[in-house]
Structure formats: C-alpha cells, structure tokens
Structure 1
Amino acid sequence: MLSLSRRGFLAASAATAASLVLPARVRAQSARMSLTATTRTLDIKGRAATVWGLMDGNGRSGLVLDPGQAFAVDLKNSLAEPTIIHWHGQIPDNAQDGVPDLPMPMLQPGDIRAYDFAARPGTHWMHAHVPAHEMLLLAAPLIVRRPEDVAADRQEVTLFLHDFAFKSPAEVLTEITGGASMAGMDHGQSGQGAMDHSGMDMGAMEQGGMMAMPGMDGMAMDLNDYNFDAYLANDRTLDDPEVVQVDKGGQVLVRVINAAAATVFWIDTGALPGRLVAVDGEPVQPLPGSRFGVAMGQRLDIELEVPREGGAYPVLALREGAKERTGVILATPGAAVAKIADLSERDHPAFSGDLAQESLLRAVTPLPERAPASQPMLMLGGSMMPYVWTINGQTWGTHVPVTAKSGDRVEMMFHNMSMMAHPMHLHGHAFQVVGTGGARFAGAVRDTVHVPPMGMVTVALDAGEAARWMLHCHHMPHLSTGMMTEFAVLA
C-alpha cells in the first residue's frame, strides 16, 4: 500500500508546479518568470537516471500562468551544450518560436534569452526543438489558466506523459532507424545520453507492434517503433506513482499532455466517467467517455467527478498496441491505494487506426466560414526499411515549402500513404479540423492532428505572420529522418 502523505498533494500550496497539481485559487506572480534548462536525476524502476528538464525559479517543473498574464520569461541554458525551446501551443512572433536558426540561433551554455508575448490560454507545453534533447525529457507543462478555470469549484491535475530509455537518444535513434541519415536534423544530435548508473543495458528494439487494418486486405500498420524502458506519468512509473489527494464528491480537471517521443496513449479514467472538454488547449463540445486517445504533441482536458463515498481512482495512460501503462492515482483522504502493475493482461487496442474520436469532436468556437484561397495537399510517406519519412516525397533540406499569403484562408489536406500514423504539428497557428476522408464538419481547433495510415484529414486555418513556420511530424524518429517542411507565409 502507498501512503498518501508520501509526496502528497498540498491543496493550498503556493508551489503549484511542484507536483503538477494546480489549486483552484490563483497565486500572485511576479512580473517576469525564470526558466532554466538543466539536468536532474530521476529514480526510474529503482535506478538513477540523469535527464534534462525545464525548471521554474523555484526549481519546479514547468510554468503556470494566471488569466491574462503575459508570457514574460527569462530562459537560461545551464546545460553543457546549445539548445532551444519551442512553446508548443503558443503563437508568439516568429523570432520567439524556438526552432534552431529559424530565425534565432540556439541558446549557448550559460546564455539567457528573454521572451515576452501574449499567452494563449489552455493546456500547452514546452520542449526542446532538437529530437535528441526532447528524448532526454527537456520538456515541461505550460498551463495558461482561463478566468472560468479560476471561477470553477474544481481541482486541476496535470498528467505529463513521457517514454524513457536508459540508452542515449543517439543509440535509440540508431536502433530505430538502422543508422539512417538524420536528414539535416543535426542540431545538438551529439546530446548527452541519459546516464544509466546501474551498468545494465535494458533497451530493446521492437520489430513487432503491427496490427491488421480492417478492409485493407491484410495490410498491417506499424504502431510502435521501439520498446522503451519505462513510460512515465509526472516523471514516475506505476512502481511508485503520484498519489493526488482529492475531495469526496469533488470535481477534477485532468490536463493530459503527451510529451512522449514515439508513443500514442489511451487515457483510461477507469471507474470515473469522464468528459473531454478541450483538446490542444481549445474547448470542444463535451464528449463523454472513459477512454480517450492522445498522440504525441497533443493535449486533452478531461473533467471527472469523484464519488461522494470516496476511494482511490487510477487515471491510466495505456500504450497503444502493447501492454505497458502508467498513470496517477486520485485518492480521497484515508482511502486504501492498491498496487497497480505496469503491464495490462492483454495488448491495448490501436488508437492510430482510424479517425473515430476526431470525427466526434466539435469546436466550441469554430472558425468563421470563408472560401479557401488555396488547398494544398501534403502527401505523408515513408517506410520502416529503409527508415525514411517524407512530406510530398521529400525530407527536410530538399523540401518544397507550402506557401500562403498572410490573412488568407488555407485548407490543408494531409494524405497519409504510409503504414504508420503521423501526428502533424504546425507552428505559429491554430487550425480547425474540417474533414476526415470525404466527410465535412466543424471539428476541433488544434495545433497537432493525428493522421492514421492511409487516412486523410483536412484542416482550415488563416495564415498568420509573414514568416517561415515549421510543419512536421511529432514522432521524434520520423522528424529525425526528415519528416518536416515549412509553411512559408508571404506578406
């Protein structure tokens, strides 16, 4: 049994980001905040692992902003090598977006860079825009609360998900890609590996993870590239999960962030019926359920109600197509908390196989209807052998930018011709899903959409600042082998 007092939740704590649990009362904050890219040590399955992290001025992971608070942050690089941070879900001016040399150079060791822009409300996150650095867990939550969050009588819990290997990112990428070229994605690729202090080699290349697709004449999609050593929820496994104290009969908003490099999860709310109320920080018409899929880079806001009789209630993240799982436990005072195995009895189903969930989502505030000035199609391709992933047949460096004029409505269709799904993320913009296959609807407003094998998704957006904006797959091995282009907005 686990003790609730062990790293327990402090409901009135001013240190909101320490345990990634947010109180309803808003904390007064200074005009500017500090953020440091640094190393830290985690205990993962009884073994010490040195990883990277983004810590606030009090040494806590991530940032929480009050309603209306500007993103006024001084970022310091305390690492031994250059890096750069992308504010995923935010729409700053292009100079502050956080992509190596587009247009700003990486932050050198010891340097400090100031950021200042209007914050976009919702559940977002921040991460290194260098695949090897992100795989070293250089990422953290970025929560921007709305006035209605403050007014609501509910507790907020952030569920931050990672996949983790004791091997270095370079070793993992080499195993996955078979030594394929990094296709120009060499920014910081020499990054320090996660240190394994036990001397044990636990990495395992996965050649399986395949699942037949209905109606595809026996064709099989590839779900997982790699068996990671651990799957983390708020930096912990189910060997020692975070236990969050909640009130009997209380309302809870779980902010889910999939920061994994290459893992799609189901979020299983178990005995607590859920309502999905936002995706990628943007409100949707409430969708009831107890299991919701979330791809890399995506976020989910799920409302839960704790029964009046109280108890312990796991909220689990299930790796698609496999048995691994992680999560947190919501528990009322005095509740017995049982041990949960980190493997389910059977493989979890695929989420990546279809667009069933996406097709049910409806935006609370859809884009106004406009005729598109352009309708570019992006063909997503690639294969496991050789391990190369492309957009319109090209990798980064030989890519042809997608272009649009600032202010124009653009309808962009992603057509996946490969047997892996691709979470496609566009910088500097929010877009609305307006079609899956041939069906048209006013879907969710997002910044990352998961495109299944042989599937088609159409998104609508209004082109923003005239600049070069990155458009890429958020599966890190796919990105590393070139699955990135740019959305070039012209004045």
Structure 2
Amino acid sequence: MNRRSFLVATGTSLANAIVARNGRALAAPAPAAHAADLRLRIEPCTLDIGHGVQISTIAYNGQIPGPLLRLKKGKPTTIDVTNSTKNQDLVHWHGLATDSLNDGAVEEGSPLIALGATLRYHLTPNPSGTRWYHTHAMAMGDLSLAAYTGQFGFLLIDGEPDPGRHDKEINLAIHHWGPHFVPMVETMRTQSQNMPQTSGSDVGYTHATINAHMLGAGEPIRVKQGESVLFRLLNASATENVVLALPGHTFRVIAMDGNPVPNPTSVEVLSLAVAERVDALVEMNSPGVWVLGSTLKESRDIGLGVVIEYAGKSGDPVWRDPQPTEWDYTRFAANNPVPDPEETFTLTFRDAGALNGSQFDTWTINGDAWPNVKPLKVKHGKRYRMVFRNASGDQHPIHLHRHSFEVTRIEDQHLSGLIKDTVNVMPLQTVAVDFIADNPGDSLIHCHQQLHMDYGFMQIIKYAD
C-alpha cells in the first residue's frame, strides 16, 4: 500500500469516528455542548502579495499568516477547526507535547476533518515559547495542497522562561508561492553516496513573501532608534530553507524552536530550515531604511524580504551583502557531558530514486519508505539517542512530533543544552539528538520538506505496552 492509499483508507476510518491505536479503540471527539475557546476555519483565500500579484490558496480565517494564537502554558484550551474546503484536512500543533489524537497527524491516529465538518482539538499547551500551527495533509503531486498553501500561523505559549526586556515584538513568517516542478539539480545529486542518478523532480517557486507581502509591497516595519526589538522568525515554506540578514544590524539569538539557547550569541545572518523558528533580539542602532531579507539576490528578486524603516528616515531601502559565513548550531549550545542513552537508533536517509514509474523520488530511512517501516520501540521515562546519517545530497530538516530533543553531536563535535523539535541535517552530515520518552503514544519523525515527506521520508516511534 502506498502513502496515498494508506492515508485515504486511514482518513475514511477516522472520519467514521473510530481510531484503532495501541490495541484499543479511540472515539473521535463528539460535538461539544459548550463553545470552544478559539475557532479556526480552513477556507479558500485570495491574497494580494503586491506588485500586481494575486495568489489563490487555502488559509486559516481568510488571512496569511493565520490568526496569532497566544495561549498560556498549562491552561487547557479548546480550538474548533471547521473545514470549508473540498479536501479532508487537519491541523498540527507543531512543537507542543500533545497526545497523539490531538497532535494533528494521521500517521499517529489523529482524525482528518471531513468536508464541511468541525473538529474540536483539546490542548494543554506545553512547553512555552514560539510554536506554530499548520496543515499536516499530504500533497503528493498536487502543488495546490498541504504546505504549499497558506495554512500556517504563529502559536505562542506564554510562560517561564521570560524572553527578557524588549520594546517591541515582531512576528515574521516566510513562505514561497507559485510552486512548480523542475528537474533535480544533478550536480547536487552526484554528492550523494551510493545513490542512483535519476530524473526525479524538485519544486521551484515564482514568488516569496514575509508575512503577506513581497519585498517592497505593503507597509514597512517601523522602528525607533534605541529600541530593542524581539523578532520571531518562522520558515513556513513547503520545501525552501532560507538565510536572512539585516544590514547594519546583528541578531542576538536567544531561542531556537521556542526553547532558550544555552549560549545567546549575536550573528550577522540567520539560517532557518523548513519549520524552524528563531527568536532574536535586534538593537535598533543604525538609523536608515533597510532590507531584512534573503542573502540570495534571486530570492530577494522574487520577494523574500521586508523593509525596516526608522522613524524620521526615508528613501530607497538599502541592502548590503553580509560577510560569507557558515551557520553553526554549536555556537549557541553548551558542551557539558550528557547522560548515556538507554538505546541508540541509527537512521540513515537515502534517495532510492524514482520507483515504479513515478516522476518523484522515493526517500528511505534504513532502506524503508513509509508506510512500510519498522517502528522504533521505546519505554516510558527512558532516554534515547537518534543518530541521523544523511547519505544524500539534500538538506533535511528532521522534525520529531510531540517531544523536544537535545542536539548532542554534530559530526565529531559534542554539544549539550540545545533543545529543538526540528534540526537541519546537511548533505552527508551526521547529527545525533537525544530525547526522553515522556509522552506515551505514537510519535512521528519525518523530513519537513513536503515532497520528501509525501514520498516515504517518515518513521514512527511506538511506546512499549
């Protein structure tokens, strides 16, 4: 059974209100007598991103990004989600330690929302920090669905630790539009070990935005000299990793994926893989009109940027290329010894090529493609290590559902204290992460690039009974 058949079959059974998980039946939530705390509607939307460009897509409550959801850590919250589109869908609460039923992943047993139906999610938000919400539907070969749409929004969980003093908060979500298939870049593919050369497809884009507009469209971000601004940045693209800079300024990185970093550090550029978040403080001490945008000219040319305008300043926004630098997670981490794990799982990622006549490449973990995988078995309360071995020429942002993990090794460099839910594994790189099995229930691991996830790049963790 392929992933499409699996999800259709699973979605049908879930829509009929019964989910089989861990040997017991779970009833899908019945209509509630009381109003939900929050409501979201998945619905068609036409977005004017500027420069005469309109995007027809799917969004939450008709806006992009979706409504800012600001919840309190530990306070139970209900959210009703109504599906006003022609396809089944569901919402994933990325970075929260939810139960499997409410996490929003069919592969874990979460129900799909049928056409015209409303589903109530029950969340007890934890941990605090910058999380986000988005569709977890599949797209396969249809680039009008899933993460290619405008279904994403910020989910901020208030609670300790406090991000510290700042004068203003600005949330910026990056997204790419106009997806289309292009041939794989053969020069990148030849870097992979023992990988067949195929004619698979990748995804290119026509436009990019920060929040709802392309660079130069919409209102600038207005600041005052001397202000300390907390930028929350989210890469909500379906497949594109990004590198950003703000000429004349530095970013003091204080959190990654919503979690405070052990070693807050100032950097000139930020790298965000798909699904990653960075919280950074910027001291506004360089008056002028600037571009906060991609370090790649071709990305800025399609819109990936936003204007930062100081009070009393005017003129054309200025861009200056930053000094070349490599993004390094270890700069923000500690290097204290970490406990030994109960068990280590080595997961090797490979591109198996275009199989069975498909134009798309199949991705495998230890030689298996979803759903034909061997689950990772864990025991409640134990510490486990996953060693991610990227045997391909692509970058892979690996996301673990319902848990956070500690990055403990990048190649031969040991580190500690860097807590994330998504880590970008570079081509031919090895990264180790540790997690505590403290949230029983099925938990998905996958590459967050939509095309990779759709074509096999998923694994499941199951707790021992």
* 1:134 and 2:112 correspond: no
SS at match of 2:344: coil
Equivalent in the alignment of 1:39: 44
> What is the 5 A alignment of 1:174-213?
175=181, 205-208=182-185, 210=187
Please say if 1:268 is aligned against 2:245: yes
1:402 lines up with 2:415 in the alignment: no
Do residues 225 (structure 1) and 202 (structure 2) align?
Answer: yes
For 2:117, the equivalent position in structure 1 comes to 111
Q: How does 1:150-161 map to 2 (within 5 A)?
A: 152-161=165-174
Q: Conserved in 1, the CA contact under 8 Å of 2:293 and 2:300?
A: no
Q: Who is 2:128 aligned against?
A: 121
Q: Deviation of residue 469 (structure 1)?
A: 0.9
**Aligned mate of 2:275, from 285, 292, 297:** 297
CA 1:148 to 1:453, structure 2 compared with 1: closer, same or farther past 3 Å? closer
| Helix, strand or coil at the partner of 1:262 | coil
The counterpart of 2:70, out of the listed 53, 65, 79, is 65
Q: Secondary structure at the match of 1:106?
A: coil
* Residue number in structure 2 paired with 1:327: 305
**Corresponding residue SS for 1:441:** strand
Counterpart Cα distance in 2 of 1:122 and 1:209: 40
Partner SS state of residue 442, structure 1:
strand
- In structure 2, the residue matched to 1:361 is 332
CA distance in 2, matches of 1:419, 1:321: 22
TM-aligned CA deviation for residue 112 of structure 1: 1.8
Residues 422, 473 of structure 1: 8 Å contact kept: yes
Change (3 A) 1:70 1:271: farther
Instruction: Tell me the SS of whatever aligns to 1:461.
Output: strand
Q: Does the C-alpha gap of structure 1 residues 321 and 146 become closer, same or farther in structure 2, counting only changes over 3 Å? A: farther
1:379 aligns to 2:357 (yes or no): no
SS at match of 1:477: helix
* Greater alpha carbon shift after TM alignment, 292-301 vs 378-387: 378-387
Other-structure match for 2:59 = 53
Q: How far off its partner does 1:154 sit?
A: 2.0
Conserved? CA contact 1:241–1:327, under 8 Å: no
Task: Give the unaligned 5+ runs of structure 2.
Answer: 1-34, 140-145, 356-360
- Is contact 1:379–1:416 with CA below 8 Å preserved after alignment? yes
Secondary structure in structure 2 of the residue aligned to 1:479: helix
| 1:490 equivalent in structure 2 | 464
Correspondence list, 1:300-315, <5 A: 300-307=278-285, 310-315=287-292
Q: CA 1:410–1:337 in 2, change beyond 3 Å: closer, same or farther?
A: farther
Q: Does structure 2 conserve the Cα–Cα contact (< 8 Å) formed by 1:51 and 1:136?
A: yes
| Secondary structure class of the residue paired with 1:225 | strand
Which SS does the other structure have where 1:96 is aligned? Answer: helix
Aligned to 2:430: 456
Residues 383 and 418, structure 1, Cα contact 8 Å, conserved in 2: no
Counterpart amino acid of 2:46?
Answer: T
Q: CA offset at residue 438 of structure 1?
A: 2.3
Matched residues in 1 for 2:43 and 2:36: separation? 23
**What is the identity, as a one-letter code, of the residue corresponding to 1:377?**
T
**Is the contact between residue 415 and residue 455 of structure 1 (CA under 8 Å) also seen in structure 2?**
yes
Would the alpha carbon gap of residues 469 and 147 (structure 1) be closer, same or farther in structure 2, given more than 3 Å must change?
closer
Confirm or deny: 8 A CA contact 2:289 2:317 kept in the other structure: no
The amino acid across from 1:360 in the alignment is: R
3-state DSSP of counterpart to 1:434: strand
Looking at structure 1, the residues matched to 83 and 228 of structure 2 have their Cα atoms a distance apart, in angstroms, of: 38
1:469 alignment partner in structure 2:
443
Measured in 2, the distance between the counterparts of 1:429 and 1:126 equals 15
Deviations 1:281-337 (A, max 9, x none): 001121111102110011111110112x73323221345997756122222233215
For the 8 Å contact 1:42–1:48, the answer to whether it is kept is: yes
Render the CA deviation track for 1:60-82: whole Å, top value 9, x for unaligned: 72323154454432222222221
String of CA shifts for 1:128-169, please: whole Å, max 9, x gaps. Answer: 11143221221112122346658734211111011111x6xx
1:240 aligned onto 2:214: no
- Distance, in Å, in 2 between the alignment partners of 1:320 and 1:486 is 39
Matched residue SS, 1:376? strand
C-alpha separation between the residues in 2 aligned to 1:212 and 1:131?
25
Find the residue that maps to 2:154 and give its secondary structure. strand
Kindly provide the amino acid, as one letter, of the partner of residue 252 in structure 1: V
1:374 corresponds to which letter in structure 2? E
2:328 match: secondary structure: helix
From 415, 418, 435, give the equivalent of 2:409. 435
Deviation at 1:359, TM superposition (A): 2.2
Assess if the C-alpha contact under 8 Å between 1:424 and 1:473 holds in 2: yes
Counting aligned pairs with the same residue, the percent is: 25
Q: Deviations over 1:68-102 (max 9, x none)?
A: 45443222222222101101111111110001263
2:176 to 152, 163, 186: 163
Normalised by the size of structure 1, how large is the TM-score?
A: 0.75
- TM-score of the two chains, using structure 2 as the length reference: 0.79
Which deviates the most, 240-249 or 76-85? 240-249
Distance 1:363 1:78 in 2: 47
Take 2:128 and 2:455, find their aligned partners in 1: how far apart are those partners? Answer: 33
Pair 151,408 (structure 1): closer, same or farther in 2 beyond 3 Å? closer
The answer on 1:88 being equivalent to 2:59 is: no
Q: What is residue 7 of structure 1 aligned with on the other side?
A: none
Local SS of the residue matching 2:451: helix
